[in-house]
Structure 1
């Protein structure tokens, strides 16, 4: 799609569950509408939109059309009284099955250091890349194996913290919704024993092992070239020297957290691998305890790739302690988690910079009987209060999501999916179905029920992202982009030259451009895909 579709009638272009609520969003005047069977052209439902909401983020008056009474599986469109037409959508028992597989398969396409080809890669294969050893900054004589893992985003950098966040989301999806991943064999490694999602996570975990400094247990912050390559450079053509940036406390805390989680989850499938993960987590924890006060990471001189700087590491330490406690039951980790929980950091955030929510979730999933009753109650109450706030904001929003006008930032779709993930965790903790319904509204937004009428997932939906800021999608000269990639979404700050030139004065939710040069609205990353996998899995159980 080369132009934005400011949607007069917008729907989830992936579809709606047969038995669930089905809403479309309309801009303009209140009017009657018809749902049309796409195969026969017959009218199968007629409705009237409700009163409008003055929706400030989108800059529109937004009406809702409710066609929940339509439950017959099929493919449909909606037509308005003035001839407006929605994108096509399906109604099915499990309309998000293929979407979930595509969101997960995207991680295969992000793989580094291996050739992607044959039936697994389709049109989007490429040769093995980034196989050279990397140089440790500050120790020019020290070279290390740097291959493997996932490229982080539209570039080819690899980052310990964001990688750990992505793996954590996927492992949690498996842990909470294992039925959603049954019977799927789409990877070269698929063996019918270990689920594909765990096979794919192992790709990144194996690389993370290489990021742990020999001897100290600290974890290098990132592995990149000095500068980003050109936008049309394929992975195998990016041959500049690779550098391990220095160890950071945030990377080490994230590493300890995700390795402790992996030790628990892989134990039934591969005891030796689980033991290796746990030993790596313990070694990283030893580094953290030996370095209680560490300055935040900043790019070393000469390195201009993404910094992922973070001045506060108490949230990552909390996650590490809580996860190690959950996996081992060791009171030393429990005591550390209780002490760290007293510090003033966000405890319900799931972003790469604020990882406290993962520590909270690890503690709550341990169960009340095995934890400090007062801390458990405090964290549970706080989680449900935050979920309640998101629920209230969503009910006031024209498109039924939890973003305020100021929340349309660089990577706003990460907030959309992280918030949906938090809502689903609240459902898991409380058993209240209203949280899941609200989370599903966030998925509807991502897949096209938004003011622009665009599905922010490449390859899914009639009007989906076509020109992501993603080097393989630009450099491979294939018409369609790599499928299953979640784009960043509207950014009211207009942080790149393309959107500054083309989107001045637009409302917050319209500050998006489906253009390869718009890195602030149309880049893709592993940690925008990962919460989308979690959310989609919930609705495929």
Structure 2
């Protein structure tokens, strides 16, 4: 009896301690909330705010409550971001479909699935955001906007000449439109259908409203992009780079109310002349006509190929435009940057030979493509700690993929070695931390993350080399919750998970409209966040325990640096998700 009374206080203390641990956890398990493919790489990350250690972890079947797999935690990776200690939990050996959670120490993960259908419908879901970004007629709003674009600047015609460039997509939360990001987005959508056609359905008409039209929705969206790009290259000696500029940022409004430029609802359209253009009191660093023009050429070429059977006249027009756009790129070899008026932020693209490589490959100018490939074998940000905003764009060398599929022998091997070298440079950094994170936390880090995952998929497809599988999957997992904050970076995906709810978006902030499928910019270095202009959090930071001097992410409208969705990033994600839904089974040529 005395022993019972002696043990009772200890039991109460233990219960109290357990309650405190649950209310104030010090360790967490981060997972991919979308789930895992049975035959794929499967991992999670355990992180602790204290210098604790674990030796094993368990996988628990939700339906039975039984532990179905026990794994070794392996080597401690040490501190990373907000965590003093971290481990990588690898359960790739377990392949049985079902619903599970992980346990390690005092931490328990959210539930997740292992299933062949883990990614089913995700690519189509993200097309919702692309349709919502449409300008001209917007199917989400069932209204039109920007119907008077625009008046020309820097062109051979008199300034303020009217030209019809209505259409395309808004670039992000702002309503600027860039040929460079739109052409890249269009190309990714076209590739997604070419490589993984079974990932897409037909539920929308060409205008984006409900109703089948016999065309996969992704191709309707890609053609929306192509139609606008044709307007931006209306004749062989004319090409335009962007609509509007940073005067857009003066106020927050819905797109139909955009009248920021002193000419009613008309907006400026910047001509590509290969020369530096306005950047407030500074000029941008434009040096040529190549980067934007080559991206347009590539999109036209791929569009012509995919539409040859279904729309021959349109395909022929695209073929002609692909050639004239390529010729425009050669007028003055060099990069075309964007222009701004008030703020120092632009798309400061510094490379262009990668764009020329892709355009040449699509036009079957293989010797030219190989020459360009040799000039930039590795996309310069790979393996680096930082870069300027959109300095190396696209964030993946698309040309290497297309060239490698066409080349043979030593030339093919050489091009593939470029992909391998880039992945290896990132892997040398990534393998040192539990998240296998080797992507620099610059503005739009999620776009880089998506592109790196695609490069890993392409390298494996073309070579059969599996050594970067863990790196590739880690970047996919990062986007859907295997990160310090435990949140998905895609609005509404998955519907049951922790995803953005307060993005930097006029649609959500003013009207509480969901922006389903939008990929937000992603985490940035604390040093970048601390020096940006005009950032102010509007609400208490629910992720405060997981911020660090290394990197921050806020699900708050006020943080335009980490929580603003982007159109081109979402288009890249659509390609990645189509690949995953198809379990990386590429369509035959």
* Residues 34 and 79 in structure 1, CA contact (< 8 A), matched pair in contact too: yes
Task: Say which SS state the counterpart of residue 183 (structure 2) adopts.
Answer: helix
- Structure 1 equivalent of residue 258 of structure 2: 238
* Residues 16 and 22 in structure 1, CA contact (< 8 A), matched pair in contact too: yes
Q: Does 1:93 align with 2:116?
A: yes
- Structure 1 equivalent of residue 5 of structure 2: none
User: Cα deviations across residues 156-186 of structure 1 (Å, max 9, x unaligned)?
Assistant: 11101111111222222223333333xx123
Q: Does 1:427 align with 2:460?
A: yes
* Residues 348 and 357 in structure 1, CA contact (< 8 A), matched pair in contact too: no
CA offset at residue 429 of structure 1?
1.1
* Residues 351 and 391 in structure 2, CA contact (< 8 A), matched pair in contact too: no
Runs of 5+ consecutive residues of structure 1 not aligned to the other structure: 118-124, 326-332
- Structure 2 equivalent of residue 252 of structure 1: 293
> Greater relative contact order: 1 or 2 (C-alpha under 8 angstroms, separation 6 or more)?
1
CA offset at residue 232 of structure 1?
4.1
Name the CA distance, whole Å, in 2 between partners of 1:306 and 1:191.
41
In structure 2, relative to structure 1, the CA distance for the partners of 1:416 and 1:58 (3 Å cut) is: farther
443-452 or 314-323, which deviates more: 314-323
In structure 2, relative to structure 1, the CA distance for the partners of 1:192 and 1:384 (3 Å cut) is: farther
341-350 or 518-527, which deviates more: 341-350
Name the CA distance, whole Å, in 2 between partners of 1:365 and 1:175.
14
1:360 to 396, 400, 406: 400
Task: Say which SS state the counterpart of residue 472 (structure 1) adopts.
Answer: helix
- Structure 1 equivalent of residue 13 of structure 2: none
User: Cα deviations across residues 431-451 of structure 1 (Å, max 9, x unaligned)?
Assistant: 234444532221111100111
Task: Say which SS state the counterpart of residue 221 (structure 1) adopts.
Answer: strand
TM-score of the aligned structures, taking structure 2 as reference length:
0.77
- Structure 2 equivalent of residue 185 of structure 1: 202
In structure 2, relative to structure 1, the CA distance for the partners of 1:341 and 1:15 (3 Å cut) is: closer
In structure 2, relative to structure 1, the CA distance for the partners of 1:210 and 1:61 (3 Å cut) is: same
CA offset at residue 206 of structure 1?
0.6
Task: Say which SS state the counterpart of residue 45 (structure 2) adopts.
Answer: strand
- Structure 2 equivalent of residue 52 of structure 1: 76
In structure 2, relative to structure 1, the CA distance for the partners of 1:499 and 1:156 (3 Å cut) is: closer
Name the CA distance, whole Å, in 2 between partners of 1:387 and 1:7.
31
Alignment of 1:474-493 (within 5 A): 474-478=509-513, 481-492=514-525, 493=528
- Structure 2 equivalent of residue 112 of structure 1: 135
Name the CA distance, whole Å, in 2 between partners of 1:470 and 1:65.
36
Q: Does 1:380 align with 2:416?
A: yes
TM-score of the aligned structures, taking structure 1 as reference length:
0.84
- Structure 2 equivalent of residue 328 of structure 1: none
User: Cα deviations across residues 317-340 of structure 1 (Å, max 9, x unaligned)?
Assistant: 232222212xxxxxxx33433443
Name the CA distance, whole Å, in 1 between partners of 2:334 and 2:37.
49
- Structure 2 equivalent of residue 129 of structure 1: 145
Name the CA distance, whole Å, in 2 between partners of 1:477 and 1:6.
34
Task: Say which SS state the counterpart of residue 363 (structure 1) adopts.
Answer: helix
Number of corresponding residues: 507
More helix by share: 1
CA offset at residue 509 of structure 1?
5.8
- Structure 2 equivalent of residue 515 of structure 1: 556
In structure 2, relative to structure 1, the CA distance for the partners of 1:498 and 1:178 (3 Å cut) is: same
1:414 to 428, 438, 447: 447
Name the CA distance, whole Å, in 1 between partners of 2:245 and 2:117.
43
Name the CA distance, whole Å, in 2 between partners of 1:511 and 1:6.
19
In structure 2, relative to structure 1, the CA distance for the partners of 1:294 and 1:98 (3 Å cut) is: closer
Name the CA distance, whole Å, in 1 between partners of 2:58 and 2:335.
60
- Structure 2 equivalent of residue 451 of structure 1: 484
2:357 to 289, 295, 318: 318
Name the CA distance, whole Å, in 1 between partners of 2:176 and 2:143.
17
Name the CA distance, whole Å, in 1 between partners of 2:91 and 2:399.
40
User: Cα deviations across residues 230-282 of structure 1 (Å, max 9, x unaligned)?
Assistant: 66411222233311112151221211122112222222332222211111111
Alignment of 1:235-384 (within 5 A): 235-240=255-260, 241-247=266-272, 248=274, 249=289, 250-289=291-330, 291-293=331-333, 296-297=336-337, 299=339, 302=341, 307-325=346-364, 333-344=365-376, 346=378, 353-355=392-394, 357-368=397-408, 373-384=409-420
Task: Say which SS state the counterpart of residue 162 (structure 2) adopts.
Answer: strand
CA offset at residue 6 of structure 1?
9.2
Task: Say which SS state the counterpart of residue 521 (structure 1) adopts.
Answer: coil
* Residues 377 and 415 in structure 2, CA contact (< 8 A), matched pair in contact too: no
* Residues 513 and 522 in structure 1, CA contact (< 8 A), matched pair in contact too: yes
* Residues 501 and 555 in structure 2, CA contact (< 8 A), matched pair in contact too: yes
Q: Does 1:64 align with 2:81?
A: no
- Structure 1 equivalent of residue 585 of structure 2: none
Runs of 5+ consecutive residues of structure 2 not aligned to the other structure: 1-24, 261-265, 275-288, 383-389, 583-589
Over aligned residues, Cα RMSD in angstroms? 3.2
